[in-house]
Chain A
Amino acid sequence: MSSITKTDLADRPGFAVRLGGVAFGQYAAAGLIALFLLAFLVVPVLTVIVAAFQDKHSGAFTLINVYDFLRNELFLRSFWNSLYVSLMSVLWATVLALPLAYITTRFAFRGAVMIQTLGIIPLIMPPFAGAIAMQLLFGRNGTVNLLLGDWFGINLPLMEGLNGVIFVQAVHYFPFILINLSTSLRNIDRAMEEAAQNLGAHGFRLFRKVVFPLAMPGYIAGASLVFVKVFDDLATPLLLNVQDMLAPQAFLRITSIGIADPIGYVIAVVLIVFSVFALWLASFATRGKDYATIQRGGGGLSKRQMTRLDAVFAYGVIGFILAIVLAPHLGLLLLSFATIWSYAPLPDGFTFAHYRTIFGESSQLITNTLIYATLAGIIGVCLGTAISYLVARTKVIGARWLDFIAMSALAVPGVVLGMGYLRTYYAIELPWGGSLAAFWGMIAIALGVRRLPYALRACSAALQQVSVSLEEAAENVGATKARTIRRVVVPLMTGGIVAGFVTSFATAAVELSATMMLVQSTADAPLAYGLYVFMQSPAGRGAGAALGVLAVVIVGICTYLSHVYLERRSAPSRREEGA
């Protein structure tokens, strides 16, 4: 193309206009995204966390609160605890995710789609129900320890203190690594691996030296999500009664009654800043490395046949991991059928009564959940695709900031976002009456914003693996930018987009904290809210669990369908192997 001179370009009518149009289109898209983020993330959050920088008596600007934060032993201890727990959770999540991702993407394996789906189920941890089920199974007097106590007189402190948090978080969030890593692995040109085998590498060394580094963008995307998510998560530590971590401290302080305490908002600011910093670090680590390995518009690792011994080993490993990560859901299932389950390895008896209890109310809850979660997923992947494209492929000024701002949603506690929405939009009246903040669409937007980071990271990783030359090829044969994106880039990113949608959808379906602030009537309530309502009394525990099971099953089915779709899309390219 270098032979085309300036005069050639000028001779082509409309070329300069088109170039201008491209840039204009990109800036228009960036502007719209910025506007959306401003309206539904930045402004609402600022209205709340501005208290961090206000004198609590006069309301004047001050940094004294930040100073107080830095001088407080409890907060510093909480910071280090949060950091430790996040890093350890990433480590253990990796240990859980690696074998699943590797085995299912690398071998011709029966039930690979099923395993991929089951591997995502842990993300769908219904609030309260998951923690209660975990306690019933792994707690000090849970099934495992009661049996161990009976048989060997030992008690494993699986759910105690920081280790308990790490255990639960690793189990809960490892799907982020699984999904992103699997997508990356699928996109590696198999010649990359064969070349290494040809030179004498195999087994774990091959994986460590070649396959894993090539899948790094996906891994980093997943691992950074796990890290930031664990760092910012308040529900799990609080449910396990660990209060000396940063996010729980922020929550405890922001939501305490009757005490005007700006430090909670300072912590929220610290969480946001640190999370963005961690994500920046992650993006810095992967930047400048040309890992675009889809060069032929397809490829992927060849799926190998396993020997019988391999298969036994692989199924063993997978079975063990799935047993651990699906334990909370097994516990939930037991709980939903249990009459009474108290200080015993198993419930006293089983009943369908809980399902009958929820039968009448669940259909509205399910409809609402599916609508909200789908909208949240769509918001996530639309913005995610657009932002990742702007960052990776255009020179739009400030695109990277859109990325960081969108990612900072990860660090915003749901309750802060919910409060911000009420504060920003409650006074705005809708034409048909009622407040804008009370409009059900706001729940969907709040969920979409909260889950945007998941979709964004998945889309970015996918785009990073699509070689620019494929795009150039399309433009070379005369496709416009917009058409290239639609017909070439987006289809090649399908894996990442589906992964992003699945994670946003699945997690939005069980999200509670922001919803809690915004739900105005039971008619608008999603499943997670219904579940919360049930879980507030001993009698409602079984019914809550039943609702939780229902949520997991429905979201699980949707996830499975997405995976089937994904496998179908990528299957044709794999069939060409023989040539």
Chain B
Amino acid sequence: MTHIDASGLKTAGISIRKVNLSYGSLQVLKYVDLEIQPGEFFAFLGPSGCGKTTLLRVIAGFNTPQSGSVTVGGREVLSLPPWKRDVGMVFQSYALWPHMSVRKNVAFGLEERRLPKDEIGRRVDKALELVGLGHLGSRRPSELSGGQQQRVALARTIAIEPTVLLLDEPLSNLDASLRVQVRRDLLAMQRRLGLTTIFVTHDQEEANTICDRIAVMKDGVIQQVGTPMALYDNPVNLFVASFLGTANILDGAMRTNGREQVFELPCGSRFPVPDEHRTGAKLFFRPQNARLALAGDQAETASVRVKGKVSHKEFLGASVRYGIRTEGGEVFADIPHARGEAHLPDEHIVGVDVPLSRVNYLPA
């Protein structure tokens, strides 16, 4: 890919305020509020039906909310039809027009803008070069592979130099092996163009790997907005916690023990809780933050310990994931694997230790 000068592209922030959208009695978006910075690579993440695609389509102008406002680069766009928004969108199905060649597809938006012919030619070349398909311009979309089609769709959108790029599950129709490559390419290109980009996906790995910030959505409500690491380490609720990766959740009770706030597990163990977590109702930690203590090992200070029996194990290569049956339910612990190390047998009694600094408390 050749280098493209980013200075030619304008980029804009998006702000979404109190957007409500419903189909009949079904409310698909509920008071959605969101600020997306210029140049940011942003993800809408959530299970299917959470409203992420609908929100994307609201920005593009294909769905009209009942109330709220959406501005792109400071310009209110809700009153504008899709073709006046300067918001580029890549569709999940790519939506390449089968009756046009690749070049024609890419040139379409430029022709709509009534640009001079030679400029159209130049920009189509540039866009195709950018996605590495300069040599396939005369093909029909049906003659391309899935990955190539996806890149044509991207080139078609980028060619119009939109202020914002919207990607609707762009990787979902690709082979697993291709996905990793494409998402790197996407990121590289986004960085080079400096284009504000929104990426809709249900795959947290995709979102984590390439996005600056993520908005996690469920049932039409934004659950949490933040960097991938912040969301992973400090989810605000159970949904975010489990959606972003394997989460161990332990029930218990928050008690006040004199001046101290403590969390009491059903087995009776108690741990001090920092002030900021005093409203939490459940204890949460990630499997890789746990260690297994065999009988006789001293419980480390400043750590949570729960006892249980090994119920199953999965060898993941770099680590072994143990499932531990405890009184409060099953808990996972990822233990690094060293060469030659034997695994614990099933029904082996172990203790799960988690340093207090690595646990978190979530509302019910």
Are B142 and A290 interface neighbours, CB within 8 A? yes
Are B108 and A209 interface neighbours, CB within 8 A? yes
Residue A296 CB within 8 A of the other chain: yes
- CB contacts (< 8 Å) of B98 on chain A: these are 214, 289-293
- The CA-CA distance from A578 to B93 in the complex, in Å, is 17
Are B109 and A202 interface neighbours, CB within 8 A? no
Binds B, one of A122-130, A187-195, A220-228, A444-452: A187-195
Are A191 and B97 interface neighbours, CB within 8 A? no
With contacts A200-B160, A201-B83, A201-B108 taken as known, whether A195 is within 8 angstroms of B49 at the C-beta atoms is no
- The CA-CA distance from A338 to B160 in the complex, in Å, is 64
Are B62 and A210 interface neighbours, CB within 8 A? no
With contacts A199-B112, A199-B160, A200-B160 taken as known, whether A194 is within 8 angstroms of B93 at the C-beta atoms is no
What range describes how many residues of A lie at the interface?
20 to 34
- CB contacts (< 8 Å) of B157 on chain A: these are 198-199
Are A578 and B95 interface neighbours, CB within 8 A? no
Residues of chain A in range 201-246 having any CB-CB distance to chain B below 8 Å: 201-202, 205-206, 209-210, 213-214, 216
- The CA-CA distance from A292 to B142 in the complex, in Å, is 10
Residue A197 CB within 8 A of the other chain: yes
Binds A, one of B84-92, B273-281, B333-341: B84-92
Instruction: Give, as a whole number of angstroms, the nearest-CB distance from A32 to chain B.
Output: 33
- The CA-CA distance from A302 to B95 in the complex, in Å, is 14
Which one of A195, A289, A302, A578 contacts B23 once the chains associate, using CB atoms below 8 Å?
A: A578
- The CA-CA distance from A214 to B99 in the complex, in Å, is 7
Are B99 and A191 interface neighbours, CB within 8 A? no
- CB contacts (< 8 Å) of B60 on chain A: these are 194, 198
Instruction: Give, as a whole number of angstroms, the nearest-CB distance from B217 to chain A.
Output: 12
Where chain B touches its partner, the secondary structure class is mixed
Residue B245 CB within 8 A of the other chain: no
- The CA-CA distance from A291 to B53 in the complex, in Å, is 26
- The CA-CA distance from A191 to B113 in the complex, in Å, is 20
Q: Give B106's nearest chain A residue, CB to CB.
A: A199
Residue A1 CB within 8 A of the other chain: no
- CB contacts (< 8 Å) of B81 on chain A: these are 197, 202
- CB contacts (< 8 Å) of B95 on chain A: these are 189, 191-192, 194-195
- The CA-CA distance from A302 to B23 in the complex, in Å, is 14
Residue B82 CB within 8 A of the other chain: yes
- CB contacts (< 8 Å) of B67 on chain A: these are none
- The CA-CA distance from A199 to B100 in the complex, in Å, is 15
- CB contacts (< 8 Å) of A579 on chain B: these are 48-49, 53-54
Task: Tell which of A191, A213, A214, A293 has the most Cβ of chain B within 10 Å.
Answer: A191
Are A199 and B91 interface neighbours, CB within 8 A? no
Q: Mark B53-66, 1 if CB is under 8 A from A, else 0.
A: 11000001110000
Which one of A205, A213, A295 contacts B99 once the chains associate, using CB atoms below 8 Å?
A: A213
- The CA-CA distance from A69 to B140 in the complex, in Å, is 46
Task: Tell which of B28, B49, B89, B140 has the most Cβ of chain A within 10 Å.
Answer: B89
Are B82 and A198 interface neighbours, CB within 8 A? yes
Residues of chain A in range 283-327 having any CB-CB distance to chain B below 8 Å: 289-293, 295-296, 302
Residue A196 CB within 8 A of the other chain: yes
Residue B151 CB within 8 A of the other chain: no
- CB contacts (< 8 Å) of A578 on chain B: these are 23, 26, 28, 54
Instruction: Give, as a whole number of angstroms, the nearest-CB distance from A327 to chain B.
Output: 36
Which one of A195, A216, A292, A302 contacts B89 once the chains associate, using CB atoms below 8 Å?
A: A195
Residue B126 CB within 8 A of the other chain: no
Residue B156 CB within 8 A of the other chain: yes
- The CA-CA distance from A293 to B60 in the complex, in Å, is 22
- CB contacts (< 8 Å) of B62 on chain A: these are 194, 197, 302
- The CA-CA distance from A295 to B48 in the complex, in Å, is 19
Which one of A189, A199, A296 contacts B108 once the chains associate, using CB atoms below 8 Å?
A: A199
- CB contacts (< 8 Å) of B99 on chain A: these are 213-214, 216, 289, 291
Residue A8 CB within 8 A of the other chain: no
Q: Mark A241-268, 1 if CB is under 8 A from B, else 0.
A: 0000000000000000000000000000
- CB contacts (< 8 Å) of B153 on chain A: these are 195
Task: Tell which of B60, B108, B141 has the most Cβ of chain A within 10 Å.
Answer: B108
Are A201 and B112 interface neighbours, CB within 8 A? yes
Are A290 and B140 interface neighbours, CB within 8 A? yes
Q: Give A579's nearest chain B residue, CB to CB.
A: B49
With contacts A579-B48, A579-B49 taken as known, whether A200 is within 8 angstroms of B91 at the C-beta atoms is no
Task: Tell which of A199, A302, A578 has the most Cβ of chain B within 10 Å.
Answer: A199
Q: Give B142's nearest chain A residue, CB to CB.
A: A290
Are A295 and B93 interface neighbours, CB within 8 A? yes
Residue A577 CB within 8 A of the other chain: yes
- CB contacts (< 8 Å) of B100 on chain A: these are 213
Are A197 and B83 interface neighbours, CB within 8 A? yes
Residues of chain A in range 144-203 having any CB-CB distance to chain B below 8 Å: 189, 191-192, 194-202
- The CA-CA distance from A191 to B98 in the complex, in Å, is 13
- The CA-CA distance from A194 to B88 in the complex, in Å, is 11
- CB contacts (< 8 Å) of B61 on chain A: these are 197-198
- CB contacts (< 8 Å) of A213 on chain B: these are 97, 99-100
With contacts A194-B82, A578-B23 taken as known, whether A199 is within 8 angstroms of B93 at the C-beta atoms is no
Q: Give B166's nearest chain A residue, CB to CB.
A: A198
- The CA-CA distance from A20 to B26 in the complex, in Å, is 52
Instruction: Give, as a whole number of angstroms, the nearest-CB distance from B30 to chain A.
Output: 13
Q: Give B108's nearest chain A residue, CB to CB.
A: A199
Instruction: Give, as a whole number of angstroms, the nearest-CB distance from A436 to chain B.
Output: 49
Q: Mark A458-478, 1 if CB is under 8 A from B, else 0.
A: 000000000000000000000
Residues of chain B in range 18-70 having any CB-CB distance to chain A below 8 Å: 23, 26, 28, 48-49, 53-54, 60-62
Are B23 and A196 interface neighbours, CB within 8 A? no
Instruction: Give, as a whole number of angstroms, the nearest-CB distance from A224 to chain B.
Output: 18
- The CA-CA distance from A201 to B82 in the complex, in Å, is 9
Instruction: Give, as a whole number of angstroms, the nearest-CB distance from A548 to chain B.
Output: 42
Instruction: Give, as a whole number of angstroms, the nearest-CB distance from A202 to chain B.
Output: 4
Task: Tell which of A195, A198, A296 has the most Cβ of chain B within 10 Å.
Answer: A198
- CB contacts (< 8 Å) of A289 on chain B: these are 98-99
- CB contacts (< 8 Å) of B92 on chain A: these are 191
Q: Give B168's nearest chain A residue, CB to CB.
A: A191
- CB contacts (< 8 Å) of A206 on chain B: these are 83
Are A200 and B113 interface neighbours, CB within 8 A? yes
With contacts A197-B83, A198-B88, A291-B98 taken as known, whether A577 is within 8 angstroms of B93 at the C-beta atoms is no
- CB contacts (< 8 Å) of A201 on chain B: these are 83, 108-109, 112
Which one of A195, A205, A209, A290 contacts B91 once the chains associate, using CB atoms below 8 Å?
A: A195
Instruction: Give, as a whole number of angstroms, the nearest-CB distance from B103 to chain A.
Output: 14
Instruction: Give, as a whole number of angstroms, the nearest-CB distance from A373 to chain B.
Output: 37
Are B26 and A199 interface neighbours, CB within 8 A? no
- The CA-CA distance from A216 to B98 in the complex, in Å, is 11
- The CA-CA distance from A290 to B100 in the complex, in Å, is 10
Instruction: Give, as a whole number of angstroms, the nearest-CB distance from B73 to chain A.
Output: 17
- CB contacts (< 8 Å) of B156 on chain A: these are 195, 199
Are B97 and A198 interface neighbours, CB within 8 A? no
- The CA-CA distance from A189 to B82 in the complex, in Å, is 17
- CB contacts (< 8 Å) of B112 on chain A: these are 199-201, 205
Q: Give B52's nearest chain A residue, CB to CB.
A: A579
Are A196 and B108 interface neighbours, CB within 8 A? yes
With contacts A191-B93, A192-B95, A216-B99 taken as known, whether A199 is within 8 angstroms of B109 at the C-beta atoms is yes
- The CA-CA distance from A577 to B49 in the complex, in Å, is 10
Residues of chain B in range 207-254 having any CB-CB distance to chain A below 8 Å: none
Are A191 and B91 interface neighbours, CB within 8 A? yes
Instruction: Give, as a whole number of angstroms, the nearest-CB distance from B102 to chain A.
Output: 14
Top 10 closest A-B pairs, CB basis?
A: A199-B109, A191-B95, A200-B112, A195-B95, A290-B142, A197-B82, A213-B99, A202-B83, A191-B91, A198-B89
25 intermolecular pairs with C-beta atoms under 8 Å apart: A189-B93, A192-B97, A194-B95, A195-B95, A195-B156, A196-B108, A198-B88, A198-B157, A199-B109, A202-B81, A202-B82, A202-B83, A206-B83, A210-B97, A213-B97, A214-B98, A289-B99, A290-B140, A292-B98, A296-B93, A302-B62, A578-B26, A578-B28, A579-B48, A579-B49
5 further A-B contacts with Cβ under 8 Å, apart from A191-B95, A198-B88, A289-B99, are: A196-B97, A198-B87, A199-B157, A214-B98, A577-B23
